Amino acid sequence: MADVAEEFGRLYGYAPEGVWEAPGRVNLIGEHTDYNDGFVMPFALPHTAVAAFGRRTDTAVRAHSADLPGEPVVVAEPAPGTSAGWADYVASVVWALREAGHEVGGVDVHLASTVPTGAGLSSSAALEVVVALALNDLFGLGLERQELATLCQRAENVYVGAPTGIMDQTASACCTAGHALFLDTRDLTRRQVPFDLAAVGLRLLVVDTQVKHAHSEGEYGKRRAGCEAGAAELGVTALRDVPFTELPAALDRLSSAEIRGLVRHIVTENHRVERVISLLDAGDVRGIGPVLVEGHASLRDDFRVSCPELDLVVDSAVAAGALGARMTGGGFGGSAIVLVEEAAAGQVEKAVLEAFASRGLREPRVFTAVPGAGARRLR
Ligand code: ADP
Ligand code: MG
């Protein structure tokens, strides 16, 4: 944090007005449900984007990242269609706030992030949310965190051009330490669900496969379109509206095996989120293990967004004694989560790494995820 403030001074020639921080996230359960008006359950990572800000006298944005080479990027007039590379994640938030009618002037920004990029851990939302929270404070906008998250989603959808749901930004803005965040993406009601693994002798590993299959974005669009087609065939607004108990009848009415798979995943996945909440409320944290494994099978076989590397993490971890595991995030690479007994964590991690090594695959990056705090001002 001190580094970020000092580097800001060196870059821009004046001291920043403040320093803010926003985390990346992992999703415990509820995958691909956030664009189907469904349920998600992410928690914040201890990995964060930390950014120092200073207000300018004009309306321009200057942004610099300690994690990338190069001079500060200047965006004179933030607007969709004026791509400035990574700095779009900063400029787009300024644009979205202004577009919503808020009086936001220009800013200088210097940031550094420990959220791995492109690993399905939402480094992009961390960037957007740290900017939104800082602007909210600096310009006295008085917006609620959910409003900030929604504006960040709009920034990413319209300006960056990534058609993501509302989960990532809400997680970064609204999570609290020691909890997973239950979010109903239809009405945006939230609930903090206690999720303190260390207290019950458990650990959650994040395994970043460090692979990203090239077709992931096109496939994401196809899944979204397929879900919309399924909802249309069933005559509902969104697949969220198909009750779990009516799934067999709904499947009978669908036109193709592909759409049946998509619908079955979304409906059973929403149900899995509800099951996980019930288990956590009942204090049965170990009980969620099999639900995670079931969720992975559904993403692999029905929604078809897994890949050999993610399947290998799950299979090798479970074979080595993990309580449960599943891919997390959009799929086609990125990360998986593994729930293990504290005492078995070393042996499970070793088994996963050996499985990758024996197949000549790049070694995954493994870390323990402790549910951390949402975005906040540091100074
Ligand atoms: P994810 O959100 O899963 O990490 P995305 O593709 O949505 O992956 O976002 C990653 C992009 O966000 C990067 O390509 C980069 O443009 C931007 N980004 C994330 N972290 C940083 C950073 N520390 N510095 C500069 N740009 C970053
Ligand atoms: Mg992202």
**pLDDT tens figures, 71-119:** 999 999 999 999 999 999 999 999 999 999 999 999 999 999 999 998 9
Locate CATH 3.30.230.10 in the chain. 2-194+373-377
Task: Give the pLDDT score at 1.
Answer: 58
Architecture of the CATH domain 198-368: 2-Layer Sandwich (3.30)
This prediction has a pTM of: 0.96
Check whether 118 is labelled as a binding-site residue.
yes
pLDDT score at 215 = 79
Calpha distance 98→75 (Å, rounded): 15
The residue annotated as part of the active site, out of 168, 241, 281, 302, is 168
Query: Atom 7 in ligand 1: which residue has the minimum CA distance?
Result: 124
ipTM higher than threshold 0.90: yes
Active site residue 168: yes
Under-50 pLDDT residues of the chain: none
Q: Which of 245, 243, 34, 191 is nearest to 125 (CA)?
A: 34
Angle between helices 308-319 and 345-358 (to 10 degrees): 140
pLDDT score, position 217: 80
Instruction: Quote the pLDDT of residue 2.
Output: 65
Which residues, in sequence order, are CB contacts of 194 under 8 Å at separation 6+?
Answer: 178, 179, 280
Burial environment of residue 150 by CB neighbours within 10 A (0 to 12, 13 to 18, 19 or more): buried
Domain with CATH 3.30.70.890 in the chain: 198-368
CA angle at 108 for the pair 104 and 109, rounded to the nearest 5°: 105
Q: Which CATH class is domain 2-194+373-377?
A: alpha beta
**Percentage helix, strand, coil for the chain under 3-state DSSP, each rounded to 5:** 45, 20, 35
The pocket around ligand 1, CB under 6 angstroms, is made up of 65, 67-68, 86, 89, 113, 117-124, 127
Q: How far apart are CA 141 and CA 48, in angstroms?
A: 23
